[in-house]
Amino acid sequence: MPSIALIFPGQGSQKVGMGKDLVDAFPVARTIFETANQVLGRDIMSLCFDGPQEALTLTSNAQPAIFVVSAALLEVLRSHGVTPSYVAGHSLGEITAYYAAGVVDFETALKIIEARGNGMAAAVPAGQSGMAAIMGMELAEIETVLAPFKDRPVVAANLNCPGQIVISGEKIALDEACGLLKLAGAKVIPLPVSGAFHSPMMQPGARSLAEFIKPLEFKAAQIPIVLNRTAQPETRADELKANLPLQVVSPVRWIESIRHLMDTVETVVEVGPGKVLTGLVRKTAPELNVIAINDAGTATEWLGTALAQHN
């Protein structure tokens, strides 16, 4: 099988119905969902399958739901002998990458996701911070406009692909910065999120997550994880543990992460609901082979093709 990297999506990829055909087609996927219900103490499986959308979109539900669907797809691929050379995940998806690389087990990953989400939600009072996507402007230009807002703070948070950067920060300052970016020629899209994620405003969330994970066991990664914060591969258990709280307040350096993978693998496979990351990869590295595995059909089709080529 050609050298591959598996990448895992973050919040925003959720949709009602996700995972249902997986559970119907693959017993290993059903096991993942049933285990998640037990760990969480609520019926995340029914929420994924039947909604309602409003409930599924809540951060406290969306994050574990996306992780569970991604993990179920991962286990389907693993059961057919798929072994990646690298893994990475966008924001929340980085914890899925930790699970994929054997750093934490499934139950621990779910509990970390809950603690991380709760800490980030409690970091800033509702309505006092936010995020916006800035389209059609390069990072250097954006950072020039944001320079006067650094201490308020407003920062570049998600470096998604060339021409798509998400900024994050205190609400009044964010609105002012967005106005200046529009005047400079950018397209500005306010995002429907509840906080200034991946910004210094998440420091209380980072501290609470550091406390939560302190007693947990982290193992060395069996597969190198290209981290959001550094855009470099990491396998050491102590570094991976230290990274998680830092990731909450640091930019997601996705452009650099994909360019690193472009130099090391032949194919990138997005594993999880939706295909947001597939689009970002194509805009960042159009020469890289990238596909989305987001349901039973795409998994079956790709496995058949990949295994046939390998044999």
Does residue 262 share a domain with residue 244?
yes
pLDDT given for residue 311 in this prediction = 44
Residue 296 Cα distances to 34, 218, 274, 283, 304, angstroms? 18, 31, 13, 26, 12
9 token code pair: 């999506």
Same domain, 155 and 216: no
pTM: 0.96
**In the predicted structure, residue 18 carries a pLDDT above the cut 90:** yes
Domain match, 232 and 271 both: yes
Residues 73, 148, single domain; the answer is no
**Residue 141 shares a structural domain with residue 269:** no
Residue 64's DSSP bridge partners are: none
Verify that 151 and 245 share a domain, yes or no: no
The whole-number pLDDT of residue 307 equals 60
Domain boundary among 160, 193, 226: 193
Residue of higher predicted confidence among 127 and 311: 127
Tens digits of residue pLDDT in 159-216: 999 999 999 999 999 999 999 999 999 999 999 887 899 999 999 999 999 999 999 9
Quote the number of domains for the chain.
2
CATH code, 35: 3.40.366.10
**Cα separation of 149 and 104, whole Å?**
38
- Indicate whether 56 and 166 sit together in one domain: no
Q: Residue 189 is part of which domain span?
A: 129-193
**Is there a single domain that holds both residue 145 and residue 234?**
no
Q: Is there a catalytic annotation at residue 260?
A: no
Q: Give residue 98's pLDDT band: very low, low, confident or very high (50, 70, 90).
A: very high
Question: How many Å apart are CA 306 and CA 83, to the nearest integer?
Answer: 12
How confident is the model over 298-310, as a mean pLDDT?
A: 81
Residue 5 pLDDT exceeds 90: yes
Last residue of a domain, one of 193, 209, 236: 193
Q: 21 with 116, same domain? A: yes
Active-site choice (198, 250, 257, 260) = 198
Whether residue 198 lies in the annotated active site? yes
Among 91, 168, 199, 257, the active-site one is 91
Strand partners, 226: 233
The residues, ordered by sequence, that sit 6+ positions from 179 with a Cβ below 8 Å of its Cβ are none
pLDDT (tens digit per residue) in 251-283: 999 999 999 999 999 999 999 999 999 999 999
Query: What CATH number corresponds to the domain at position 157?
Result: 3.30.70.250
Q: What is the reported pLDDT for 58?
A: 85
Say whether both 94 and 230 belong to one domain: yes
Residues 269 and 297 reside in one and the same domain: yes
What is the per-residue pLDDT across 23-78, written as a single tens digit (0 to 9) for each? 999 999 999 999 999 999 999 999 999 999 999 988 889 999 999 999 999 999 99
State which of 154, 172, 193 marks the end of a domain. 193
Q: Which has the closest alpha carbon to 42: 25, 22, 58, 26? A: 58
Q: What pLDDT does 226 receive?
A: 98
- Domain co-membership, 115 together with 71: yes
